[in-house]
């Protein structure tokens, strides 16, 4: 007979679903509370998403930006980590339903399940235009970029060769800008001398943005700088440009078509199915509408945080789907639960504090917006690098990533140019026109 | 219309199939010859197989032991690298047949396609008991080992939990011994404090060897030492023990059965299909019987080297399937072709020189046989580490691997504990009894 796990223990059970920035921060905020914390994630690793594009562009290895969750929480004796797939929440019986494993009972629940790419109702584009959320997405995109060059080297037909060497990035936010800049570096520098039949420097890299300018979250001057820096690196930036279709051989735009070998989706996100699990009200992007203390209306014992929740600052602007917001929410809810269970006074409503925006465009080019302070160029790039090294977890990874960046900066190389797990139909071929 | 590539060029065309140790060394030996060298491999990377078990056991990342072939040959202006799948050789028309790409014409051909695992006629065991030859094999085995612990943490049934924590390695050669030692370290040290419901130290690690002792290629004293070192690390070594069946829930032996969650095949190899492509005579393991200059009987322009060839030393002993032999053969054939095309005198018949054997068993334990000199314990381990660092390619990787080993040595950690690309039916589950 199946039981419900942990129902017999005496301490309050806090269950956290999702070990992203929000979930982990909540778990840590509960480290001194007299509770049992159970962190459930379908992956065994926490992914440092701000550097995921560097895995997709062969600069870092997956293991440098993805760390075992249970290792990160090993010293926290009140925390248990389970690798399992959550398929629902029974808010009446207060338990989390797992796929093919016993349900987990909770007294307090934190849902921190994040977001995934949104194709604005065209999920059929996903196959042709992968997005970048998980480690597997990053290795898939890396494979596609590197295979583009490999196939072009085998190809005799000039038009097909040019198609294979065309890379389209859909979405001009931070991820899109960073991807475009990195692919330009690969083509113009890293691979420049590695081929004999093709010249990788002739690759065409196109960044598509539906709005009037790239990096719309930034002030105009930084946005302009980003566009100039991209142009200098040979990236074609097309603004006010809508994608009407994606297929395996290219993208259709509201004005014309671009044949492409690789399409990368960096355009939109949609929240995880948390709203569905909880039967909760949500906005158009699927984000759960939460109360000022981030709890679910009618369920003070259930909290939704990070990209899964719709949260606004005092001016009514939505908190962007970035690590700092998720961490702030995780810390807030962890402390609130600790205070509630200890009978202490509860904290005031959650208020999102925006720390700034930053994106790197390439070697010695980045944009940083800290409100009054705007940084760009080499200084911006240095600031960006230091901030990301600082937020990496553990000395080991700080050192390895710093070493790798320094090495690559000096040599123009990228150390993780691996093509693995190639599906049979994707093997390089000169005659394959699918 | 399809043409045959490169047929119009004037310089002799040397085609090398396979960019393992043998193929790469042959290409390098031809760097000053007035030839066009084309290296064809179905992967984009050369895999440093001696350290592949460290990827399988989460100590190193794939990119640390696998380097882009075209980057390794970028400075060699007469070399072209193609990522393509060879499906046959037309020795009459002198061309290599590719899958879905134009054939490649050759004047001189070097076949260096290596070997894969042999299940001694039981290929159906491959699904349950993966071997270790490619990067994908290594990440698959890593996933299986780490998922074993994750599933055990979710499991309530005591017997099933013990099965999930049982790891069987079939084959007591160097690979089997290294894998068993590494898994023992993971269970007893790396993961010791990371779980709450299970104690990883209770994992059972069994090394099966059909012969009377492990590391049969080594002298008796080193073989005995290896067995004692394994026992001290808690590995059960079963010698003179034959596997009669492998399935997803364990292995059947000639005496009894072991239920296991992970089975790793390190027992036998069989040569690539080179003999079939060439219509050549071969030994029982599929290795092509070559002439004393490593050429194919009747085809002085075709050479077979490395694990794909059956080569013997002056005492009639077969050259073992290890990197040094493949490199010696590659260098020999490269120089022979260069001499032949330059009209110089040809080198004497190939003679394999055995440099020695070495295997690491765990922290501070290794066996090294240099003929008269036998090393074991810490000294052996140090020697093993230095040799492998030395043979890594490029300063970058030497530094990264040395740093990683030093860090892991001090902290007992492993930096690449990633579970990725999990097929749906392999997701962790407590109730999954398939």
CB of B281 within 8 Å of a chain A CB? The answer is no
Residues B112 and A232: beta-carbon distance below 8 Å: no
How many Å apart are CA B263 and CA B145, to the nearest integer? 9
* Res B429: pLDDT: 60
Give DSSP secondary structure letters for A140-205: HHHHHHHHHHHHHHH---HHHHHHHTEEEEE--SHHHHHHHHHHHHIIIIITTTT-SSS-GGG-EE
Domain membership flag for residue A25: yes
Q: Which has more pLDDT, B364 or A23? A: A23
Domain membership flag for residue A5: no
Confidence label for A431 from pLDDT (cuts 50, 70 and 90): very low
Gap from B426 CA to chain A (nearest CA, Å): 11
| Residue of B154, B401, B409 to mutate, testing the A interface (most A Cβ within 10 Å of its Cβ) | B154
A136·B420 Cβ contact <8 A: yes
Burial string for A295-329 (b: 16+ CB within 10 Å, else e) reads: bbeebebbbbbbbbbbbeeeeeeebebbbbbbbbb
Which chain B residue has the Cα nearest residue A55?
Answer: B63
Residues of chain B contacting A62 with CB distance shorter than 8 Å: 61, 418, 420
Helix or strand or coil: residue B143? helix
Residues of chain A contacting B66 with CB distance shorter than 8 Å: 418
Gap from A52 CA to chain B (nearest CA, Å): 14
Q: Hey, CA dihedral for A359, A361, A365, A367, is it positive or negative?
A: negative
How many Å apart are CA B280 and CA B128, to the nearest integer? 32
* Res A1: pLDDT: 38
Whether residues B112 and B132 share a domain: the answer is no
B82·A154 Cβ contact <8 A: yes
How many Å apart are CA B116 and CA B137, to the nearest integer? 11
How many Å apart are CA B364 and CA B231, to the nearest integer? 15
Q: Considering only CA atoms, which of A275, A339, A334, A342 is closest in space to residue A310? A: A275
How many Å apart are CA A19 and CA A42, to the nearest integer? 9
Residue after which a domain boundary falls, among A285, A315, A342: A342
CB of A416 within 8 Å of a chain B CB? The answer is yes
Number of domains making up chain B: 2
The Cβ of residue B321 has, within 10 Å, a number of other Cβ atoms equal to 18
Residue after which a domain boundary falls, among A342, A364, A399: A342
Residues A55 and B416: beta-carbon distance below 8 Å: no
Whether residues A294 and A320 share a domain: the answer is yes
B204 forms beta bridges with: B166
* Res A429: pLDDT: 60
Residues of chain A contacting B42 with CB distance shorter than 8 Å: 427
Q: Considering only CA atoms, which of B2, B349, B29 is closest in space to residue B14? A: B29
How many Å apart are CA B113 and CA A287, to the nearest integer? 53
Residues of chain A contacting B44 with CB distance shorter than 8 Å: 146, 150, 417-419
| Residue of B8, B61, B198, B433 to mutate, testing the A interface (most A Cβ within 10 Å of its Cβ) | B61
Helix or strand or coil: residue A413? coil
Q: Considering only CA atoms, which of A360, A412, A410, A407 is closest in space to residue A386? A: A360
B45·A153 Cβ contact <8 A: no
Q: Considering only CA atoms, which of B289, B336, B326 is closest in space to residue B306? A: B326
* Res B368: pLDDT: 94
CB of B150 within 8 Å of a chain A CB? The answer is yes
Residues B304 and B278: beta-carbon distance below 8 Å: yes
The helix/strand count (H/E) of chain B reads as: 12, 25
The CA–CA distances, whole Å, from B391 to B327, B384, B394 equal: 12, 11, 9
The CA–CA distances, whole Å, from A299 to A107, A346, A347 equal: 11, 16, 18
| Residue of B408, B414, B428, B429 to mutate, testing the A interface (most A Cβ within 10 Å of its Cβ) | B428
Helix or strand or coil: residue B58? coil
A9: pLDDT strictly greater than 60 = no
Residues of chain A contacting B79 with CB distance shorter than 8 Å: 196
B62·A61 Cβ contact <8 A: yes
Residues of chain B contacting A101 with CB distance shorter than 8 Å: 154, 428-431
A366 forms beta bridges with: A360
Q: Which two tokens stand for residue B403?
A: 């740093």
Residues A145 and A52: beta-carbon distance below 8 Å: no
Whether residues B109 and B207 share a domain: the answer is no
CATH number at residue B372: 3.50.50.100
What residues have CB less than 8 Å from B40, skipping those under 6 apart? B15, B16, B17, B18, B81, B82, B83, B84, B86, B96, B98, B104
For β-strands B45-47 and B66-68, DSSP reports them as antiparallel
Domain membership flag for residue A156: yes
Q: Phi first, then psi: what are they for B312, rounded to 5°?
A: -125, 150
Domain membership flag for residue B216: yes
Whether residues B171 and B160 share a domain: the answer is yes
Q: How far is CA A362 from the centre of its chain?
A: 19
Confidence label for B6 from pLDDT (cuts 50, 70 and 90): very low
What residues have CB less than 8 Å from B123, skipping those under 6 apart? none
Gap from B222 CA to chain A (nearest CA, Å): 35
* Res A395: pLDDT: 82
Which chain A residue has the Cα nearest residue B396?
Answer: A407
Instruction: Identify which of A83, A419, A428 has the shortest CB distance to residue B150.
Output: A83
Whether residues A195 and A320 share a domain: the answer is no
A100·B430 Cβ contact <8 A: yes
CB of B419 within 8 Å of a chain A CB? The answer is yes
| Helix, strand, coil percent values for chain A (each to nearest 5) | 35, 25, 40
A186-239 confidence digits (pLDDT tens): 999 999 999 999 999 999 999 999 999 999 989 999 999 999 999 999 999 999
Residues B190 and B153: beta-carbon distance below 8 Å: no
CB of B157 within 8 Å of a chain A CB? The answer is no
A152-170 confidence digits (pLDDT tens): 999 999 999 999 999 999 9
How many Å apart are CA A313 and CA B128, to the nearest integer? 53
Instruction: Identify which of A100, A135, A139 has the shortest CB distance to residue B429.
Output: A100
Residues of chain B contacting A70 with CB distance shorter than 8 Å: 194-195
Confidence label for B9 from pLDDT (cuts 50, 70 and 90): low
Q: Hey, CA dihedral for B380, B382, B383, B387, is it positive or negative?
A: positive
Cβ–Cβ pairs < 8 A, chains A and B: 162
Helix (H) or strand (E) holding A263: strand A262-265
- What average pLDDT score do residues A294-322 get? 92
Give the strands of the sheet with A250-253, arranged side by side.
A243-247, A250-253, A257-259
- What average pLDDT score do residues B115-135 get? 93
Residue A284 burial by CB count (10 A; 0-12/13-18/19+): exposed, middle or buried?
Answer: exposed
B299 forms beta bridges with: B296
* Res B317: pLDDT: 82
A95 forms beta bridges with: A90, A105
Instruction: Identify which of A2, A42, A194 has the shortest CB distance to residue B70.
Output: A194
Q: Hey, CA dihedral for A303, A308, A312, A313, is it positive or negative?
A: positive
Q: Which of A 172-201 lie inside 8 A of B, CB atoms?
A: 193-197
B44·A84 Cβ contact <8 A: no
Domain membership flag for residue B240: yes
Whether residues A166 and A237 share a domain: the answer is yes
A432: pLDDT strictly greater than 50 = no
What residues have CB less than 8 Å from B388, skipping those under 6 apart? B50, B51, B401
Domain membership flag for residue A257: yes
Residues A411 and A185: beta-carbon distance below 8 Å: no
Whether residues A141 and A172 share a domain: the answer is yes
Q: Which two tokens stand for residue B19?
A: 């960019």
Whether residues A305 and A218 share a domain: the answer is no
CATH number at residue B281: 3.50.50.60
Look at phi and psi of residue B239 and say left if phi exceeds 0, alpha if psi is from -120 to 50, else beta: beta
How many Å apart are CA A311 and CA A325, to the nearest integer? 9
Gap from B173 CA to chain A (nearest CA, Å): 27
Q: Which of A 54-83 lie inside 8 A of B, CB atoms?
A: 61-64, 66, 68, 70-71, 74, 79-83
Instruction: Identify which of A101, A146, A419 has the shortest CB distance to residue B154.
Output: A101
Whether residues A335 and A360 share a domain: the answer is no
CB of B84 within 8 Å of a chain A CB? The answer is yes
Instruction: Select which of B160, B178, B209, B227 is catalytic.
Output: B178
CB of B27 within 8 Å of a chain A CB? The answer is no
Confidence label for A313 from pLDDT (cuts 50, 70 and 90): confident
Helix or strand or coil: residue A23? helix
How many Å apart are CA A89 and CA A280, to the nearest integer? 11
Whether residues B307 and B366 share a domain: the answer is no
How many Å apart are CA A370 and CA A357, to the nearest integer? 7
B246-268 confidence digits (pLDDT tens): 999 999 999 899 999 999 999 98
| Residue of B404, B417, B434 to mutate, testing the A interface (most A Cβ within 10 Å of its Cβ) | B417
Whether residues A223 and A254 share a domain: the answer is yes
* Res A257: pLDDT: 97
How many Å apart are CA B234 and CA B151, to the nearest integer? 22
Which chain B residue has the Cα nearest residue A196?
Answer: B80
B343-401 confidence digits (pLDDT tens): 999 999 999 999 999 999 988 899 999 989 999 999 999 999 999 999 987 888 888 88
What residues have CB less than 8 Å from A131, skipping those under 6 apart? A116, A117, A137, A264, A265, A266
B400·A403 Cβ contact <8 A: yes
Instruction: Identify which of A71, A428, A429 has the shortest CB distance to residue B417.
Output: A71
Residue after which a domain boundary falls, among B317, B342, B367: B342
Domain membership flag for residue A432: no
Catalytic residues of A: 178
Q: How far is CA B127 from the centre of its chain?
A: 18
Domain membership flag for residue A148: yes
How many Å apart are CA A52 and CA A175, to the nearest integer? 9
Residues A346 and A340: beta-carbon distance below 8 Å: yes
* Res A411: pLDDT: 84
CB of A154 within 8 Å of a chain B CB? The answer is yes
Could you tell me the residue range of the domain that residue B223 belongs to?
Answer: 123-267+356-420
Whether residues B239 and B318 share a domain: the answer is no
How many Å apart are CA A235 and CA A186, to the nearest integer? 12
B196·A419 Cβ contact <8 A: no
A314-373 confidence digits (pLDDT tens): 777 888 889 999 999 999 999 999 999 999 999 999 999 999 999 999 888 999 999 899
B55-106 confidence digits (pLDDT tens): 999 999 999 999 999 999 999 999 999 999 999 999 999 999 999 899 999 9
B22-62 confidence digits (pLDDT tens): 999 999 999 999 999 999 999 999 999 999 999 999 999 99
């Amino acid at each position: 007979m199946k039981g419900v796990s942990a129902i017999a223990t005496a301490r309050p059970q806090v269950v956290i679903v999702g070990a992203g920035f929000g979930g982990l921060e909540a778990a840590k905020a509960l480290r001194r509370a007299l509770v049992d914390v159970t962190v459930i994630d379908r992956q065994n690793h926490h992914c440092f998403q701000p550097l995921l594009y560097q895995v997709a562009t062969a600069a870092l290895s997956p293991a440098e930006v993805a760390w075992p969750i249970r290792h990160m929480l090993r010293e926290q004796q009140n925390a248990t980590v389970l690798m399992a797939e959550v398929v629902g929440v029974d808010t009446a019986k207060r338990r989390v339903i797992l796929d093919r494993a016993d349900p987990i009972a909770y007294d307090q629940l934190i849902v921190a399940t994040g977001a995934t790419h949104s194709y604005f109702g065209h999920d059929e584009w996903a196959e042709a235009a992968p997005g970048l959320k998980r480690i597997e997405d990053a290795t898939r995109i890396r494979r596609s970029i590197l295979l583009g060059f490999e196939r072009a080297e085998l190809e005799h037909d000039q038009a097909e060769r040019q198609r294979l060497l065309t890379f389209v990035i859909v979405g001009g936010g931070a991820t899109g800008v960073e991807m475009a800049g990195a692919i330009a570096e690969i083509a113009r520098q890293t691979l420049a001398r590695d081929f004999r039949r093709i010249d990788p420097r002739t690759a065409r890299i196109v960044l598509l943005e539906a709005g009037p300018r790239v990096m719309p979250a930034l002030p105009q001057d930084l946005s302009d700088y980003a566009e100039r820096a991209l142009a200098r690196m040979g990236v074609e930036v097309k603004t006010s440009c809508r994608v009407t279709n994606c297929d395996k051989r290219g993208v259709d735009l509201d004005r014309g078509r671009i044949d492409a070998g690789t399409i990368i989706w960096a355009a939109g996100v949609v929240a995880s199915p948390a709203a569905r699990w909880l039967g909760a009200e949500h906005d158009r992007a699927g984000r759960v509408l939460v109360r000022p203390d981030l709890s679910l209306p009618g369920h003070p014992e259930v909290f939704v945080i990070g990209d899964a929740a719709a949260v606004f600052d005092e001016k009514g602007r939505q908190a962007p789907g970035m690590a700092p917001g998720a961490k702030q929410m995780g810390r807030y809810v962890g402390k609130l639960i600790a205070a509630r269970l200890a009978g202490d006074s509860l904290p005031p409503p959650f208020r999102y504090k925006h720390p700034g925006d930053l994106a790197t465009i390439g070697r010695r080019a980045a944009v940083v917006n800290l409100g009054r302070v705007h940084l760009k160029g080499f200084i911006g790039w240095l600031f960006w690098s230091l901030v990301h090294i600082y937020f990496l977890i553990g000395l080991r990874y700080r050192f390895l990533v710093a070493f790798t960046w320094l090495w690559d900066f000096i040599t123009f190389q990228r150390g993780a140019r691996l093509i693995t797990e190639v599906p049979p139909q994707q093997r390089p071929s000169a005659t394959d026109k699918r």
